[in-house]
């Protein structure tokens, strides 16, 4: 089994989730664009940074 392909799919799914969450957040448009670019340009590191410090979506339960 190809673990690299599976890992790539997991990273892709997490990045898509992050981008959807970024756009559903109440952050400013400029902030949303910067966070999205960070997640797209640096997929793994950008996702981790977003997970720690990024804007949260309005539908996220506390």
pLDDT digits (tens, 9 = 90+) for 16-54: 999 999 999 888 999 999 999 999 999 999 999 998 988
pLDDT at 54: 84
Q: Domain-by-domain residue ranges, the chain? A: 3-53
Residue bearing the bigger pLDDT, 2 or 49: 49
Mean pLDDT of 1-14: 86
Q: Which two tokens stand for residue 46?
A: 């950008």
């Amino acid at each position: 089994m190809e673990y690299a392909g599976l890992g790539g799919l997991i990273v892709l799914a997490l990045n898509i989730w992050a981008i959807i969450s970024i756009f559903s957040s109440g952050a400013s448009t400029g902030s949303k664009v910067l966070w999205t670019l960070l997640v797209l340009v640096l997929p793994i590191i950008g996702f981790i940074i977003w997970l720690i410090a990024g804007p949260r979506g309005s539908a996220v339960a506390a």
